[in-house]
Amino acid sequence: MITIRIDDKDSALLAISFAEDPIGNNIIREVPGRRWSYSRRCWLVPNTRETVIQVGKLFGKDYCRFDEAVVRLYKPLATTAEVQQATNPPWPPADKRRAGTPRLPFRYTPLRREYDRHPTIVALCNTLRVQNYAYKTLVNYKHALISLICYAEPKSIDDLTKLQYQNYLLFLVEKKRLGGSSLNVHINAFKFYREKVLQHVKEFYEIEYPRQSVKLPTVYSIAEVKALFKATTSLKYRTLFKLVYATGLRLNEVAHLKLTDLDRVRGLITVRGGKVKKIES
């Protein structure tokens, strides 16, 4: 399903969302003035009648769900039935779906946010919240399991065998071109789901964690560090840079420091809520 609505931040733009797929990306690139928004996680196109007509032709009108504001804007005399048809079209179009296809086209794939109501994702997120995991971990694990659900459909991921999961990892490497760090997230998310959510006994999988590339850090000379500090005109940022350089703290940890975290007598800094929510001095 392709959803077309007026952008929340700029009414001169239309926000177009559909399930992640290279075919859909190739189609939307035919629309003049389109661009991808990383913050909104959708495509943005000019809010014009010509654009609406072109999107309907490119994707197929039966596959498009228009927001009511878009319908009222370009078809002000539309009847209640016409508005209902445009905003809630029959899904999926029974006469267009090909029977017997093992993998459905992207037009039939639900939007990513619709998986938030999937029982597997709800159970995963609830367990992560109860166990006080970081929000970033919750987001990464959720997206990893959504990818696995999409790959395994219509089969439940609860019934995946070791061989099938190994084939999925091979798919991530060969087709999705994921690196070692991203692959580790997928493995850890599946392990967490099976062991913490489903309460399965820890099971040995003959899956080696991917080797990580080791890069030597760039070490600046004393003169280069002094030049960097000198070029920073803002006292606030110069102080932050010097603190990071002197202590080795993470940028997020430095940004959340308070005056009460500085112990001038003993020369200590207390870091609250650092990595894995540790408190260190």
Rg, Å, the chain Cα set: 25
Superfamily of domain 113-197: Tyrosine recombinase, N-terminal domain (1.10.150.130)
The residue among 122, 20, 5 whose CA lies nearest residue 65 is 5
CA–CA dist 109, 97 (Å, integer): 12
Q: Say if residues 109 and 147 touch (Cβ distance below 8 Å).
A: no
Q: Going residue by residue through the chain (281 aa), what tens digit of pLDDT does each one get?
A: 788 999 888 889 999 988 776 677 778 888 999 998 887 788 999 999 999 999 988 888 878 888 888 888 998 888 888 888 888 877 656 555 444 444 445 555 555 566 778 889 999 999 999 998 888 888 889 988 988 988 888 888 888 888 888 888 888 888 777 777 788 888 889 999 988 898 887 765 555 655 656 677 778 888 988 898 888 888 888 888 888 888 888 888 888 888 888 888 888 888 876 665 555 55
Q: What is the pTM of this model?
A: 0.47
How far is the CA of 239 from the CAs of 230, 254, 258, in angstroms?
A: 11, 10, 13
